[in-house]
Amino acid sequence: MRKALFLDRDGTLNQDPGYLGNPDQVILFPTVGESLSILKNEYDFTLIVVSNQSGVARGLISKEDVDKVNRRINELLENYNVKIDAFYYCTAHPDFNSKEECECRKPSPKMIFDAVKDFEIDLGSSYLIGDAKTDIQTAKNAGCKSILIKTGYGKESFNALLSENNLPNFVAENFKEACDYIINDISGV
């Protein structure tokens, strides 16, 4: 069984201009490439993006746009000798799609469970990093450790989670801090 790092995309790995469909607008946050390289190449994490992409249901971007942005992320990560192993995304939104079509939408753990089957992942030794309340709930629903990163919507999400007494396993200011937490956690520090 493998351990995985599940990652939200927009606001976590890269800047979120809102319904990102243009690969030329992909800007990775500082330390994302270096941190993912360490976790993949030194600690053998499988890297999997799980992302809601409701811009498709809203008619603002296409599935092809989402795929182009995903490819661009991996192109940028090549500079750090790392790549995302798989991208899972849900294009549905309850305002535009049926309940069944929305079953993949976070905070549902369906995308994670699909990845578990595809990659033989041990959720007990896996983590999810995200910037939204739904990411933290997704991790809890799936049974993996949750890390809220204070990029993207992270600061607002932290306040909401705090008021609900629903905190993640760890709160990180940036991606490197999240990476350091994971390394310390698996090392028993």
Encode pLDDT of 19-67 as tens digits. Answer: 999 999 999 999 999 999 999 999 999 999 999 999 999 999 999 999 9
pLDDT value at position 78?
98
Model confidence at 182, in pLDDT bands (50, 70, 90)? Answer: very high
Q: How much is the mean pLDDT over the chain?
A: 97
CA 60 – CA 22 distance, rounded (Å): 11
pLDDT digits (tens, 9 = 90+) for 118-146: 999 999 999 999 999 999 999 999 999 99
- Determine if the pTM surpasses 0.95: yes
Q: What is the model's pLDDT at position 189?
A: 80
Pairing outcome for strands 4-7 and 46-52: parallel
pLDDT, mean of residues 168-187: 97
- Residue of 10, 65, 85, 131 marked active site: 10
- Of the CATH numbers 3.40.50.1000, 3.40.50.300, 3.40.50.720, 3.40.630.10, which one belongs to the domain with range 4-187? 3.40.50.1000
Q: Is there a catalytic annotation at residue 16?
A: no
Q: What is the pLDDT of residue 10?
A: 98
With a cut of 90, say whether residue 158 has pLDDT above it. Answer: yes
Tell me what pLDDT residue 50 has.
98
Give residue 75's identity as a one-letter amino acid code: E
Task: Give the pLDDT mean for 85-113.
Answer: 97
Active site residue 185: no
Q: Tell me the C-alpha distance between 42 and 94, whole Å.
A: 40
The residue annotated as part of the active site, out of 8, 65, 85, 135, is 8
